[in-house]
Each structure stands twice: as structure tokens, then as C-alpha cells.
A and B are shown apart, each in its own frame.
Chain A
Amino acid sequence: MTRGRMPKLVIGVVLLAAAVLLPFPVNRAQPYYLQLTLNIFVFATLALSWDILARTGQLSLAHAAFYGLGAYTSVLVTTRAGVPVFAGILLGSLVAVVAAAGLGVLTLRLRGIYFAIATLAFSESLRVLTKQLRFTGGPAGLIAPPLLAGNLPAQYLVILGILLLAVLVSWQVNRSRWHFAFTAIRTNEEVAAVMGVDVVRFKVMAFAISAFFAGLTGAYYAHVFLFISPFEAFSLAVSVGALVAPIFGGLYSAVGPLLGAVVLRAGEEVLRAALGDGFLIIYGLILAGVILYMPRGLVGLWTAFAARRRQPAARTGRGVP
């Protein structure tokens, strides 16, 4: 096993180095791709954050709320209290965490569609609140100070760092004991509680971690695209975007949401080039098609394929839905 590990480690390090150094020459030659990749990474981080919460069976439509809270907090403190941008972003994600913990506690008893609607209502209430209050700039929105003076490669590195952190956390959670707790809760909460799993603690923790990254993403977005408004930051589109990629790529893993995000966004560009302005219609069909024919997502396809190539007897036991 150790002999197999070495080349993988080397590949990993090389890739990482490439990911870090690549932006500079790319930026000189084709900054457009850097921007695209940055956009994809933002989307992917959000997807990863949603997936973490989904592991406890809590299918949230509230990610726009955490995203928006992160964005608004950061913009408000950086513009009104002169806090430096990095600190603002961090503060934004912390506020999102607190809100998530609160929401988590309030919705402990809710399941499935009830939970989803409650989270949606939470997100929309926040939208109405930020829209109505003068303090948050009202419906017109707020202009945000730029991150790292708008330096594209630098901004790219920041989101790369955030994304890697999210991937790491997502991966680690799966490898740790938390994985069992989450899966148990997802499969059947009552049984999990009977088995001694501290359901409340894990559900709230999942909420917190998930919201941390969502808030981080939101705040990052605000300082890179320099403008937020209640309509955009808290929109249903954000919450939906957060969940489409993990579904498409494969739930409950670190790879799935990431792959889903990349393929979806790249696919969008291809679709648009091929179909012109009607491409969104295909998006709907793809979404429906994935659910009907590829419920485990892309990763599911891959594992099924790989499993079939191996001996039919050697199937993995990780078949939990």
C-alpha cells in the first residue's frame, strides 16, 4: 500500500503546485478562464457546504440565508466600521454560523419537506428584512470594497484556498467518526438517538460547518463582484444552485459536489454555445433526467462502473442512500 501511496502523493503535490502557480501565466494570456474558474470555485464551495448539511438528512433551502448573511455582515462592517476586508469576510461567516445554529435548534423536530419549507421561509424572511431596513441599504443594495484591490490572480488564490479547505473538511468529516453519526441520523433519527448518537449536537454542528462555508462564500462574492442586494444575496436561485451540484455530482462525498459544480458550469457554457439563448430549457431536462436515471449522480455512475469492472463478488458495502 505504501508503495502505491507515494506516486499518488507526488501527483497530489504537483497538482496543488500547478493550481497555485497556474493563475499567473494564465492571467497574462487568458484571464477570462481564470475568471471562469473563479466563478466555478465559488459555486463549488457553496455546493460542498450544502452537502455537509445534507449528510444529516437535513435538506436545506436556506443556504441563501447564510450566504447573504455572510455577504451583508461583511459589507456592513467593512463599509461602516472600517474593518479590513479579510476580517469582514471572516466575521460574515461567523454570523452565518450563529444564525445557522439558531435555525438548527428551532427546526430540530422538522423533517423532509417541512424542514425544507421552514428553511426557505427563514431565508425569505431575511430577504424581506434586509430589503425593508434602511440600515442594510434597502432594496437598492450596497457597494462593497474590493478584495485585494481587484487583483484577479490573488482573488483566485483566495477562493482556491477556501475551496481546498472546504474539500478537506468535507473529506475529513467523511473519514472521521462523524460520518457514522451523520449517516445514522440521516437514515433514521429515532433509531440513531436510541443507539446513543447525540442527534442534537451533530445536527447543529452540521448546520454550523455548512453555514460557515456558505457565509464565507457569500462574503467573498460580495468583495469580488462589489455589489450585493437583498434580491440577489438571499435569492432562491442561490439556495437551489447550492443543491443542484451535489445532486448532480453525487451526494455525501467531497468529490461529488465538486465534480457536479465543475461539470454543470462547464456544461452550461457548452450548452449556451451550442444552443444559443434557449439553453436553460435543457438545464431543466438534464436535472429531471439525472434524477430519473442517475440518482446517485456522476460519482454514482463512476462507482457503478468501477464495481462492475471488478469481480461481481467484491461489492462495497457502502450502499447507504
Chain B
Amino acid sequence: MRITVLLIAVLLAVATLAIPGSYQPVQAQREPIKIGAIAPLTGPTGVSGQAMKKGYELALEEVNRLGVLGRRIELILEDSRGDPPTGAAAFLKLVTRDRVEALIGGLQSNVSIAVAAQARQRPILMAWTGAASTLVERALADAEWFFHYHPWEYHNADSTFGFIRSTGAKTIALAYEDGPFGSGSADSAEAFAKNHGLSVIFKEAFKSGSPDFTPLLTKSKAAGADVLVWVSFDQDVVPMATQTRQVGYSPRLILAAPPSWPVGFEKLPAGNYVAGMALWTAENSHTASRQFVRRYKEKFNEDAASYWGPLAYTNLITVADAIKRAGGTELNALVAAMKATDYEGPIGLPLTFKRSIYGKNQGFTRLIAFQWQNGKQVVVWPEQIAGGKLAYPAPYGR
């Protein structure tokens, strides 16, 4: 008896969910162009997702000042919660229910894979800011409609080692967090290092979130490499900085690459002269970047710390621009217009789409390097956009 009641309940639930959905709103004249976005507004990467949301809002404001082809852009932002099934459902909702004409967003690789699987069956422009894992690149290798903004892992590695080479260092100690983020970089490390004439003489994993890295750092100190490369998340850079001091470990340079930095790191004396790689920092001297930081502060009353903000901004602006150039949202025209993108915005690096190792449309391919100098992230490489000079060897503990 209970089972029947239950089955009725379940099916009624499904049915009631379906009914309001099948009601189609009356088509209005000059209705807005709908763009769908999927981002992790909550969940473990929620901080970055929220930064993306703010970047989108800024871009939306700007785009809708003049409109696109006489119409407004309407952005429908869905939360993927960092969860692949939710991401897949979000895609279906955006494409089949909201009938969006292009898809933007993206952060995590696993969600990207789930969304891409759906996108294969319902091709739509996927202008994607997320995923650094080459697994995703390979899964979407043949997709003409997939435009990837974020550098792939190997681009990150390439930039990192390019920077290190520019300092004159020769040997590297590599410590990385043992999840997909850290290990992805570690895998390709030796090969890339060799390409740049460097050698990785020490390589070891650690668990992100551990309070104590002293054994690891002591081993690294014993290896005596010129540069310590530390691939981790934000919370780990604090113990790294303080404990390298404590074990008396002073390499010529400490290069950390967390996706973001903890609040308050700039005040930490132990963090001074630590270098980092990023797609963008708020200290970028590029005009568009300064403008972005200012507008961000005005609108949200907080400092733009994460590169996901300007990346999302760039994402929406370039897609809107492509729609304008294509004269509409027909897929092939849009793809062609996207391929012709040539944009320089708050990120401060030119954005064009070219082939990558496996993919067809790759946007940003390099990172910039900065060094914490007395509380500021001073850009030190590449030289063309440097805002200051790298302190090398860095005076740690002195």
C-alpha cells in the first residue's frame, strides 16, 4: 500500500514539475538575447564562482548600455554547486527550457566534462572559462563550438618554467598538493623544465590543509635547489611561508601558484618576496585592468582579488561582441565570429583563439609572474608589462 502511495507521489512530483515548464511564454518583439552561464556559486570553489558572478554583472551593465543589435542581453546564471550532475541538469535547463543562445561560464574540470557531454548532443556555442585539466581538452578536441579561455595545465607549466628561466635559476624543487590541481602540474613538470633548460631535482606531494610541512620543507632544503615551486591552494601558502622561515630554508626564490591568496597574506612578513603565477593580479598597470578594479570596488565595495572576476567579464564581453559581429546567434556564424576575436581587456593580455595541442579554439595561453613586495603583488614578468623589478635572490629571513 505504501509503495503505491509513494510511486504516485514520485510520479506526481515529476509531472507537476513538468507542467509549468511546458508552458511557453508568448514571444515578444525585440526580446532580449539570452545567454546562459554555469558557475559554481556555492560549493568548494564558491569563492571563485562568486567572483565570476560579479565579473558578469559588470560586463552585463556595460554591454547593455548600448545593447547588441538593438536588443538587450539577458544573462541567466545557474549554480553548478561544483557538482557534475547539477551542472548537467543546469545545461539542460538553460538550453531546453530557457532556450539560451550561447553558453558561458565554467570552472571545474569535472563539471566541464559533464556539461560538455550534454553539449555534444545539443550543440551550442560554449565559450568556456573553466577547466585546466587536459582530460577536458582531449574530450572536446574535435568541437568547433567550444572556445576555451583559461590556459590549460601545460600552458601554466610552460609559463612557470619560462619565468623561472628568465631569473637565471637552474634547479627546481617542486612541492605540490596531491589532488588533481597539484598533480596535474607535477606530471608535466619535468618535461617542461627540460624544455626550458631547467631540471627538477626534488619533487614531492603533500596534503592540502595539513598544518605542518616541516618534514617536507626540511627534505627540500637538503636538496638545495635554486627555486622552490609550491603548487597548492590558498590555505597552504601560509604554513609554507612561515615554516620555510622556521626550518631555515631560504631558496633563491619561492614561487607559489595558488588559484587565490588568503586574505591577510599581504601583511605577513614571512610572505614578503614570495613570487606567484597568475592569469591576472589587481596590480596590473594596464588601463583596462585599473578601470575594472575601480568599477568593481565602486559597485561591490570590495577589492577584486581573484582573476575569475576579470576572466568572467572578458568572457561575456567577447561573446556579446561576437554576436554583434555575426549579426545574430546562428551557430556557424557565431563560431566564425568567435574565431575572429581579438580583444584586450582587463586581463591585460591579448585574447585570440588559436589551436592548442588537442583543442581548436584556445584563448589565454600564458600566465604572468608577480612578487609580493611589501604587501603588493608587483608584476615582474613578462618584461613588457612588468611593474617592478624581481628581487632575486630573494632576501628571505634577512
Q: Which of B172-201 contact A (CB under 8 A)?
A: 178-180, 182-184, 187
**Beyond A8-B4, A139-B179: 6 further Cβ-contacts under 8 Å?**
A26-B18, A35-B89, A42-B85, A132-B178, A138-B183, A279-B42
Given contacts A146-B117, A277-B79, A280-B42, contact A141 B135 (CB under 8 A): yes
Is A161's beta carbon under 8 Å from chain B?
A: no
User: A15, A19, A259, A299 — which one has the most chain B CB atoms within 10 A of its CB?
Assistant: A15
Given contacts A32-B89, A35-B88, A35-B92, contact A225 B117 (CB under 8 A): yes
A255–B6 CB distance below 8 A: yes
Task: Return the chain A residue nearest B41 by Cβ.
Answer: A277
Given contacts A15-B7, A15-B11, A139-B179, contact A226 B89 (CB under 8 A): no
Contact of A231 among B2, B46, B50, B179 (CB under 8 A): B179
Q: Mark B65-103, 1 if CB is under 8 A from A, else 0.
A: 000000000000001000011101100110011000000
Please give, as numbers and ranges, the residues of chain A lying within 8 Å of B8 by CB-CB distance: 11, 15
Distance of B184 from chain A, by nearest CB (Å): 6
A32–B93 CB distance below 8 A: yes
Given contacts A36-B89, A227-B110, contact A255 B2 (CB under 8 A): yes
Q: Mark A122-163, 1 if CB is under 8 A from B, else 0.
A: 000000000110000011110100100010100000000000
B6–A18 CB distance below 8 A: no
Distance of B302 from chain A, by nearest CB (Å): 16
Query: Bound complex: CA of A258 vs CA of B5, how far in Å?
Result: 12
Query: Bound complex: CA of A85 vs CA of B297, how far in Å?
Result: 52
Is B133's beta carbon under 8 Å from chain A?
A: yes
Is B223's beta carbon under 8 Å from chain A?
A: no
B110–A33 CB distance below 8 A: no
B46–A277 CB distance below 8 A: yes
Query: Bound complex: CA of A18 vs CA of B180, how far in Å?
Result: 42
Q: Mark A30-67, 1 if CB is under 8 A from B, else 0.
A: 11111111010010000000000000000000000000
Distance of A38 from chain B, by nearest CB (Å): 8
Contact of B79 among A42, A167, A254, A272 (CB under 8 A): A272
B3–A254 CB distance below 8 A: yes
Query: Bound complex: CA of A277 vs CA of B53, how far in Å?
Result: 12
Please give, as numbers and ranges, the residues of chain A lying within 8 Å of B3 by CB-CB distance: 12, 167, 171, 254-255
A32–B96 CB distance below 8 A: yes
Interface of A is mostly: helix
Is B21's beta carbon under 8 Å from chain A?
A: yes
Task: Return the chain A residue nearest B42 by Cβ.
Answer: A277
A266–B92 CB distance below 8 A: no
Distance of B214 from chain A, by nearest CB (Å): 21
Query: Bound complex: CA of A272 vs CA of B118, how far in Å?
Result: 23
Q: Mark A205-236, 1 if CB is under 8 A from B, else 0.
A: 00000000000000001000111010110000
The 9 closest A-B pairs by CB, nearest first: A32-B92, A32-B93, A139-B183, A227-B113, A39-B85, A35-B89, A30-B21, A225-B84, A225-B114
A8–B9 CB distance below 8 A: no
Please give, as numbers and ranges, the residues of chain A lying within 8 Å of B50 by CB-CB distance: 277
Distance of B397 from chain A, by nearest CB (Å): 32
A131–B178 CB distance below 8 A: yes
Query: Bound complex: CA of A3 vs CA of B241, how far in Å?
Result: 77
Q: 21 pairs across A/B with beta carbons < 8 Å?
A: A11-B8, A30-B96, A30-B97, A32-B89, A33-B18, A33-B21, A35-B88, A139-B183, A140-B183, A143-B113, A221-B85, A227-B110, A227-B114, A229-B110, A231-B179, A232-B110, A254-B3, A255-B5, A258-B6, A262-B13, A272-B79
Task: Return the chain A residue nearest B49 by Cβ.
Answer: A277
Please give, as numbers and ranges, the residues of chain B lying within 8 Å of A255 by CB-CB distance: 2-3, 5-6
Query: Bound complex: CA of A167 vs CA of B109, how far in Å?
Result: 34
Q: Mark B333-358, 1 if CB is under 8 A from A, else 0.
A: 00000000000000000000000000
Is B219's beta carbon under 8 Å from chain A?
A: no
Is A286's beta carbon under 8 Å from chain B?
A: no
A259–B6 CB distance below 8 A: yes
Query: Bound complex: CA of A306 vs CA of B120, how far in Å?
Result: 50
Query: Bound complex: CA of A139 vs CA of B3, how far in Å?
Result: 42
Given contacts A140-B183, A140-B184, A225-B113, contact A36 B6 (CB under 8 A): no
Please give, as numbers and ranges, the residues of chain A lying within 8 Å of B6 by CB-CB distance: 255, 258-259
Given contacts A11-B8, A15-B7, A30-B96, contact A225 B13 (CB under 8 A): no
Task: Return the chain B residue nearest A140 by Cβ.
Answer: B180
Task: Return the chain A residue nearest B86 by Cβ.
Answer: A39
Task: Return the chain B residue nearest A299 by Cβ.
Answer: B2
Contact of B17 among A36, A143, A225 (CB under 8 A): A36
Is B139's beta carbon under 8 Å from chain A?
A: yes
B180–A231 CB distance below 8 A: yes
Query: Bound complex: CA of A36 vs CA of B183, how far in Å?
Result: 33
Please give, as numbers and ranges, the residues of chain A lying within 8 Å of B88 by CB-CB distance: 35, 225
Distance of B205 from chain A, by nearest CB (Å): 8
Is B121's beta carbon under 8 Å from chain A?
A: yes
Task: Return the chain A residue nearest B12 by Cβ.
Answer: A15
Please give, as numbers and ranges, the residues of chain A lying within 8 Å of B79 by CB-CB distance: 272, 277
Given contacts A32-B92, A226-B117, contact A8 B1 (CB under 8 A): yes
Query: Bound complex: CA of A32 vs CA of B138, how far in Å?
Result: 26
B179–A150 CB distance below 8 A: no
Is A304's beta carbon under 8 Å from chain B?
A: no
Query: Bound complex: CA of A229 vs CA of B181, how far in Å?
Result: 12
